[in-house]
Structure 1
C-alpha cells in the first residue's frame, strides 16, 4: 500500500449572502455582499481520524458573518473582510490562517425616494483578505465591467500561417468584460493606517476606464497594459494588478449578397455581428518595478 500524507487543506463557509440596511432617517443605504470564509491550521486529525476537536463548525463561521454585519456594520468590503479574518485567527488557537472573499453588488438609488434602489448592470466589486496572525494581504478588484470602443482600434501585422483567415483591420470595435484584481502593499503590520478602501476602489476603476477610453489601440494587450500601468502609477498603495480580458469580437456583416457595402466608414454607419464564443482571452499582470508577483495567474482561484 502506498504511504500518503495530508497536503494543503482548508475549510469554511461559502457564499453567505448578507444585505445590510443602514437607515439615516428616510434615506437608506444598502450593502449587498456575498461572503466566503476559508480557514486553515492544525487540521490533520479531522482528516486522519475524524476527530472534530479542532474544527470550528462552518455554521459558526456563517453566524459570525451575520453577527459582525449587525455589530460592526459594513464600512467597505475590504474592512469587513479584514475584521472577520482577524477574528477567526485570534479567536481560535488551532486556526493559523483565514481567508475571506467578498463580492459586493451595487445598488443605485432611485431618486424619487430614499428607500428605492435598482441594480443597473453595474460591475461586481471584489475583495479578498488573508490573515496569518501577523500580516494582512488585501486584494481588491472587479468583474463584469463591460466596456466598448466603437472605433480607435486596429489589428494588423500579426503572424500568419496556412490556417490564418482573419483579415487585417485598421478600424474595428474593441470590447471586453474587464476582470481585474489588484494587491495593496499595506499589510497592517507596522501600525500604518489602512487606505480609504472605497476611495481606492473608485480611483482604480476610474483609471481603468480612462485608460481604456484614451488609448488608441493596436492590440488588446497594449490597451490592457496601459490600463494596468495607469492604476499602478497613480496609486502608491497598489503593487500589482492582474487582468483577464475576453475579446468580445464584433465582425462586419457580409452585405455583398444584398448589393450593399458595409465598411467601417459606410454612410449611415456599419453593421456588426456580436459573437459571444469562441473568444480571445488576454491575460497579464502589471507590477510596480521591483514588486513581487503574488496574485495567482488563474483569477478563478481568488
Structure 2
C-alpha cells in the first residue's frame, strides 16, 4: 500500500544554541588579556526525520553545541571573533554527517585595563563588535561588523530642499546636529576563511577607523549621503571588503524655540536642543564594490 503524500512539507529550518556567554583570559606574565563573547550557533542539514517523526538520530543536542564553544575556547583560545567562528563552523559541518550548514554569530564586548596591575579592567563604553561565519559545503563566508557606535557632528550638517506636502511641518535647517548609532556589517572577499592581510583584529579596527573618518569628514546634506560616504570609504581603503550594509537611526536633536523667554537660540551662538529618542528616522542601505553581488541580508541588523 502506497503511503499518501504529506499534505504539508517542511521548509527551511535550523536549530542551535543561542547566546552562549564565554569569557577567555590569557596571561602574559603579569599582563592579562580578555576576550568576552556572546556566541550563537545555528545548525541545518538532514532534519526531516526529527520534524516529521520525532526521530533524533541525526540531531546533535544544542547542549553539545554549548559545550563545544567552551571546549574550543580553552583548547584553541580566541584569537579573534572571526577566527573562533570559522573553527566552530568547520567543526560542526565536518564531524557530523547530518549537518550541512553551520552559522556562528558572535558579539564581542570590549574591556580596557584600569590601574597599574595588568589584571584590572573596566567595561569599555564603546560599540559591540560583531562577526558571523557561515560554513556550507566546504565554503566559508565571513561577515564582520559593529553595532551601537554612537557618533555626532554638531555642525557641517543640513537638511533642506526636501519634498513638502500638506502634512509637512519640519522646518529646513542649514546648521543642524547630525547624530546616529551605527550598525554595520561588511563582507570579506571569498578566501575560504583565510584572514585578510592585516589579520582579523587589525582589519576590524581599520574598517572602524574608516567609518569614523568618513562620518567626521563629510559635510552632510542628508544622512543618506553620509551613509554612502562611510560605506564607500570602507570599500576604498578596506583590504578585501566587497560589500557593507549600514543601518543608521537618526538621533534627532531639535533646536528649541526660546523666543517666549526672550532668548535667541541660533546654532552659531551655541544653541540648546531637545534630544528626542523616538520616533526616529531610520536610514539603511548597502554599498557595493562595482561588479559585486549584494549578499548581506537587508534585515541582518534586526535578527
Q: Normalising by the residue count of structure 1, what TM-score does the alignment of the two structures yield?
A: 0.96
Matched, 1:175 2:176: no
Residue 293 of structure 2: aligned partner = 292
Equivalent-residue separation in structure 2 for 1:181 and 1:120 (angstroms): 21
The one of 115, 131, 147 equivalent to 2:135 is 131
Matched, 1:220 2:223: yes
Equivalent-residue separation in structure 2 for 1:187 and 1:297 (angstroms): 23
The one of 239, 249, 252 equivalent to 1:249 is 252
Q: CA deviation at 1:253?
A: 1.4
Equivalent-residue separation in structure 1 for 2:132 and 2:207 (angstroms): 16
Q: CA deviation at 1:194?
A: 2.2
The one of 113, 116, 119 equivalent to 2:117 is 113
Equivalent-residue separation in structure 2 for 1:73 and 1:142 (angstroms): 22
Q: CA deviation at 1:235?
A: 1.7
Secondary structure (helix, strand or coil) at the match of 1:140 reads strand
Please say if residues 138 and 187 of structure 1, whose CA atoms lie closer than 8 Å, have aligned partners that are also in contact.
no
Please say if residues 132 and 144 of structure 2, whose CA atoms lie closer than 8 Å, have aligned partners that are also in contact.
yes
Alignment of 1:141-220 (within 5 A): 141-188=145-192, 193-195=194-196, 196-220=199-223
Residue 11 of structure 2: aligned partner = 7
Give CA-to-partner distance per residue, 1:35-83, whole Å, 9 cap, x none: 0001000000000000000000000000000000000000000000000
Q: For structure 2, which runs of at least 5 residues remain unmatched after alignment? A: none
Equivalent-residue separation in structure 2 for 1:93 and 1:178 (angstroms): 40
Equivalent-residue separation in structure 1 for 2:115 and 2:234 (angstroms): 32
Please say if residues 152 and 216 of structure 1, whose CA atoms lie closer than 8 Å, have aligned partners that are also in contact.
yes
Residue 42 of structure 2: aligned partner = 38
Q: For structure 1, which runs of at least 5 residues remain unmatched after alignment? A: none
Across the two proteins, how many residue pairs are aligned to each other?
297
Moved over 4 A (4+): none
Indicate how the Cα distance of structure 1 residues 200 and 47 shifts in structure 2: closer, same or farther if over 3 A, else same: same
CA RMSD of aligned residues (A): 1.3
Equivalent-residue separation in structure 1 for 2:239 and 2:72 (angstroms): 30
